[in-house]
Structure 1
C-alpha cells in the first residue's frame, strides 16, 4: 500500500504555500497516485513527491511537469514559480562577468566584447578628423562605447557628461587633468572665451581626446558647444533622434552610427566575458540569446538575462535550465515593465497605457508588431520610459525596445481589449500618409463608416490625426448638404424607380462547383493573356468555389497583374528598373537615357527628380545611389526620397561597383582597365577596394582583405563582407567572411566550393547566404549561417537555365530567385527538410532582382513585357482575398456574371 504524504503543517511561508497549492492541484485532478503522475510527467514518483514536499523549491521544469500532469495552466504557475524563485536565488557573486542593466565602465574594459571593430573605427576617425560624432539610438550602448571601449583604447582621454550646467561639468572633469587650477576658475575661463579650452589642451595635453557623452543635453549651451568642438580631438556621443539639431550647428565632423550588434558580435559579448574567468555558457543559451538580440539594440537586456542566469549557474556553467528558470529576456522585460508601471501615479498610468498602444500595430494578418512613431507625449514620462529601457528613441521616432514587450501580460491584455481600435488606428495612419503624399487631395480624406470609426478612437488620436479627422468631418458635412439638394431635384423629376433586367442567350441555371471554378479560372487566364481587367475577380470566383493549388496560383498571379505598378509618362520601352531594398523607390530610365527616381506607395508610382544627364543607376540602397555616366565614371548620390536626390562625389577613376550594402554604409568594387564581374580569369591589373560611406562626401577607404576576388557581397548593415576567390588549378572557389570596422578581421570559417561562384547574397538578418554556381547552368545553394561556425547547406535550387540568378530573401525564411523571365519563390527550413517551392512563374522577372517589401509582405517582380512595370506578388492568399473584399474589388458586375455563367446563382466570394 503506498505511503501517504508527509503533512505540511502551517503554510506560513511562501514555499509551504506553494507546496500546498501543488497538492491541492493534484486533489482537483482526481488525486492520481504519484506513480500515475510520473507516467504522465516523465519524472520519477520521488521527484514529484519532493516537489510538493515543501522542503525546497523544485526546479521550474519539474514544477511545470507536475502542473501539466494535473492538466492545469502552466503559464500562471511559471509566473508564480519565478516570483518565489526570486527569494531563493543566490546573491550575486562579486566576480560576475556581466554588468547587468548598467552601462560598462572603464573597469569593465576587459569584459567589453562585440564592439571591437566599432572602437577601432572611432579611434581611426579621431586620428583623421578633429571632431567625430557617434550617433546611436537610446540603449545602443553609447556610454559603454566611450567608457569601456574608447577610454582604454586611447592613450590620453577623459569622459565628460554634461548636466544642468554643461560648462561647469566640463570644468569639473578637466580640473584633475590640468595642474594649478580649479573647476570654478576653468568654468569662468570657458565662459569668457570658449577658445581657452583649445589653448590649454595644446599647451599642456596636446594628445588629449575629449569624450563627451550624452552631448544632446548640451546642444543649446552655445559656449559649451563652441569650447569642445574647437578642441584638437573630440568624440561626441549624440542620441540618434537629435541628429538634425546637431546638423543645425554646422560643425564639420566625421559621423559614425552605432548599428545593432550582429549575431557573431552578440555571441562574443556572451561567451568571452565568461571565458575570462573560466566559466562556460551552454550552446543552447547562446543560440536563444543570439536569436533574441541579434540586429537589435538589446545588449542591455542580454546582460540582464545573463546576470539572472549567473545566479542560477551550475558550478561555473550557465546552463539552459538556469536560463529557462530565469525567464530569459522575456522575463527581464516583463519584470521591468511591471515594476515601472506599478511605480507610476494613476494619471501617468493612463498616459503610459496609451503610449504603449500607440507603439504597436495589428496588420491584416492579425500578428501584433512593434511600430516606430513620432509621438506628441509628455517628455518627462518619455524620458522615464527610455531610462527603464522600455522604449527606444531612434532617428525616426519612438519604438518599443524589444518584441518581448509585446508578450508582457499587461500590454498583451490591453492589445486584446483594443484590437479593433488598433486595426482602425493602423488604417487611419496609412490614410494620413497617403493624404500627405497626394498633396492633401480632398478625395483622400475619410468619409462614411471609416470616418465614424476614426471619431470613436478618442484618446488614441494624436494632434495630427485629430486634425485629419476634423478636416474629413467638415468635408463630409459639405458633401452631405450637397447630396440632399441633388436627391431632392431627382425625386421631383423622376416619379418612379428605375428597374433593369439582365438577359443571357444560354440561360444556364446549374453548374457544379468544379465546372464553375474551372470556367472562372479559364476566363481569368484568358483575360491575363490579354492584360484586360477582371482577371483577378474571375480568379477569386474560381478559388472560392473550388480551392486548389492551381486555383491559388492563378489567383496570386491575377492579383499581381491587376495591382501592377506602372511608370507612366517618360520612361522608355524596356527601361532599366532598379528598386530600393525595401521597395519604396525605384530608378527608371527615361526616353533620353537618364535615370529618374520614382516613389512607390499604395500600388502607385509617381515621378521624382532625375539624376545628371545620361547617368544610369548601378546600385540603389537606403539613402544612397551609385550611378555611371556615359564615360563610364561612377558617382555617389544621396537619395532621401524620390524628390530628394543630391549629388555627393565622384568615385575613383576606373572604379566599378560590385556591391553596395542595403543600408548604404559600405561600398565594395574593383579598379582596373576592364572590369568584368565574375570572369574565371580576371585581369591581373585589377584590384578590389572597400569604402566606408559614413561621411558620404568623403568616402573613407578601408582595408580590403582580398586583393582581387571574383565576387563579393556585403551584409545588410555593411559590417560583414563575403569574398569569393577562384582557383583555376584546383577548380574551387574559396568563400571567406570578414568583419568590417576600423580594421577587417575574419568573421568565421571559410567555405570551399567545387565550382565557379558567380554571386553571393546575404539575407537581411544575416541568417541565410545564397551562393550561385555556374556549371554552366545556374545552381543556387542556400546556406544557413551558424555563429562562428561552418554554414549548413539547406537548399539546392537547380535549373536548366544559364547562369544569371538574382536572389532575394524575405524576413520570414523565403528566398526568391529570378533567372531571365522565370520567377520562383521557395520556403526555407532550418532542418533537413527540403525547401518548398511556393511559386514558379514563367514570363515574369525580366532579369531584374525581385525585392521583398516587409511593409506589404510581398515581392516586387518585373513584368515580362517591355513596359517598366512592377508586379506586387503576394503569397498570402487570405490577405489577397481580404484586401480585394475591403476595397470592393472582388465582386463581378451583374452583367459580367450573367455573360460568363448565365443564371447560375452568384457565388459570395467575401
Structure 2
C-alpha cells in the first residue's frame, strides 16, 4: 500500500494550495508509490515527497519531473509553478532551490574534467587496467620506462592514478621539468634530504651520479624514521618541457644523464618513469643519454578500446550511485572511439553532463546541452569568455597566450608560468580566478598552467589568437626570457636589447607587456640613448683630429685604395645580411601586416635575387585565408576536397562540410553548408565530374551528397561502411565508378559507385598489419595504392576479380601518411613520419624500384601531391614548410622552392591549377593558397599593397640602404 502523507495546513497559503494540486495529480495517476515515481523521474524519494509536503516550493525541474512521472501536462504545470512562485515571493516565502540541487553543489563529481587523475582519484580511475598492469610488470622487471603517447591519451592519469598506487610500499617523487629541469630536480631532492637546493643543483650539474647518491641518502633517512620503503619511484611527467621551455641544451643533457644513470647503476635504488608526447620521439633520439636506453624502455599509449571507454564512463558513475543513460553511453563511445587525444575531451564532457544530470541519471539531453564531445570544452571556454567585460577579455587573451609554448616543428603545448611573470592587476587576478573555477586553468601557490593541451586544440578562439599573434608571441616570449635573465644577473646592462632586437621589441603593444618587461625595454632605450650620446661625443673628437691628419694624406693615398675596396666588400656583405634578415622578417609579419610584408619581401628580392629571397617572397605573398571557425567568411576545417578543375572546395570539420567557390582564390565565395548529422568526417572527396561528394569518418558511415547544384546539396545515400573502426581516407577512381575507403581496422574496402544513390560493397582488401591511412587510384584506374602504419605501401590489381596484391613497397622507416600517383600512373609519391618523401617507379609491376628521396623536411611529411602536368610535385609537413620539387628527372628530384607557413604545421595539400597554385590546411584548420609561379607573383605583388612603405619603416627593415619603395605607383 502507498504510504500515507501528512495532512496539509489549511492556512498554508500558496504552498499548501500547490502541494494539494500535486497530490491530486498523483491520485489521478492511481497513487503510485514514491519509489515508483523516483524510478521514472530520476529524482530521490525524499526530493519528490518533499515537493508535495507543502513546506516549501520545489524547483521547476523537480516539479516537472514529478508531473512527468504522473503523466501530467508539463506546459500547464509550468504556468501553475510560475504563479505559485510569484505568490510565494509576494508573501515572503522562500522558493526551494531544490534540495537535490544542493546535493549537486555539495557532491564530489566522479569525473575530473581536463585535469589528469591523481593518486587521490584512483578509486574512480577505470578503463586502463590492462595498460596499468603492463606498465607495472615492466617497472618490476626493469628500472626505466619511457611512456610515449599523444596529447590527451592519458599518460599522466595512468601513471598517477594507476601505476603509483600499485607500488604502495615504495616512496614516490613526481614532478614536471619546467624551464630548468636540474633546478626542479634539485629542489625536490633537497626537500626530501633536508639539504640546500643550491648545493644539490651545483653537484648535479658537475656530476650526474649525484642523483643516485641523493636517492640513497633520502631512503636511509626514511628508514631511520621508521619507513619501510627501500626504493624511490621517480615520475617525470610532461617530459617534452625539456624541449619546449628549457633553452639550455647542456642542462637538458645533464638532467637526462642523471635520471638514466640512477636507473641503470648496478646498485640502483631508483625506478624512473618518463612520460612524453609521441610527437617528441625524434627529439628524444637526439639525447645521447636516452637514445641507447629507448629500445628496451619505451612503451606506447594508444587509444582506449570500446570496452575500456565504457568502463571509464560507467564505473565512476556507479561508484557515486549514478546511472548512465544507454543512449548517452552509445553516443560517447562512438564519439571517443579511435580518436587519439580524446580522453580529456571525454572526461570534460562527462563532468559537464554530470553538472546537468537529471536526478541520479546522466542523460543524452544533458550531454547535448553541455555541447557534445568537443563542443563541451568549447562551450565552457566560450561561456567563461562571454561573461568577462571587454577589459577582462583582453586580459584573458594576454594570459592564455602566455600559457602556450609555441611549437617548433611540433604542435603547440601548454607552458607552466610562474606567477611573478604575470602582472598582478585586478583584471588578471579576476580572469585567473574565473578560469580556474571553470577548470580551464590550474593554479598553485607559485605557478599557473592550462589544465590540458586539449584546450589549445579545441578552443577555436584560442587557436585564432595564436594564428594572429604567433610571430608577436615568439618575440614576446624571447623578451620574457631576456627580462628574467636580466633580473637574475642584477640588471646587468650587457643583457639589454640593442639595435634591431630593441626596435622589434618596441613594436610590441605596451598593454601586452608586464611591468617587468616594460622596465627591461625602458632600460634598453635609456642605454641606447646614452650610447648615442657617447657616439656623438666620439664623432666630435674625431672631427677635431681630421685637421691634424691632413698632413698624412699623401702617405695614405695608397692605403685609401685598399680601404675603399675593403669598404665596398664590407658594405656589400652588410647589405646582403640586412636584405636576408628583412626577407625572413617579411614572412613573420605577413599574417598581421600583409601590405608591409609584401613590400619588404618584394624589395628584398629585387635588391638580392637569390633562392632565399625568392622563397620568402613566395611565402609572404601567399593568399592567406585563415578562419578560426567553420561558419566564418573564409575556408577553414581539417579535411579538404577539391574538384578536378580546382574551382570548388569542400572543407569538412566536426559535424559540418562547407562548399566554397574557388574560381578566384583571393576571394573565396561560400556556396552552401552540409549538415553531417554530427558524424565528424575524417575525409571527403569529390567524384571526378565534381557532381558528387563522398564523406566518411569515425561513425563508420559512408555518405554521398549530390553537389551538381552546389548552392543546394542533397543527401543521396547514407550506409554503414562495414569497417570495425574509424575511416581514415576515401579515394575515387578517375571514371567515378569505384571508390575505396581505408580504416584503422587494417583493411581497405572497395565500393561500386555506378549508382551514387545506392553504393555497393565490392570487396575487402586485407594484408596490411597496421592502420591503413592514405589510398589513391592510378589515373587509368587499373591499380590502387594504400599506405599503412606497418611502414609499407601495397599496390592492388583493380582489373583482377580478386583484387590481388601486385607489389609491396618497402623503404620507409616509419608510418606512411600520404600517397599520390603521377598523372601518367608510372610513378608513385609517398610521405612518411620518417621526415621523407619517396618516388617509386611502378611502370612495370610487379617490378618496382625506389627512384629518389625528397628529404628536406624536419618532421612528419603529412601531405604530397603531383601537379596536373606531372613535372612538379609538392610536399608539406608538420615542420611548417611547403616544398615544391622539379621531378622531370624522377631519379634526381630538384628543389624549386621552400615556402614557410608562419602559422606552424601544415597537414594537407591539394593543387588548384596547373600553374602551381597550391591549397594547404594548417594544424589550426585554416586554409592557405600559395603561388609557386614566380612571374605571376612578381606581376601581382603590388596588388597586396594598401599603404606605401614609409621612410621610417624602410629604415627599420633596411638600415643604411637608400629608400626605394618597390611599388612606386602606390606612393
The alignment's TM-score, normalised by the length of structure 1, stands at: 0.37
TM-score when scaled to structure 2?
0.35
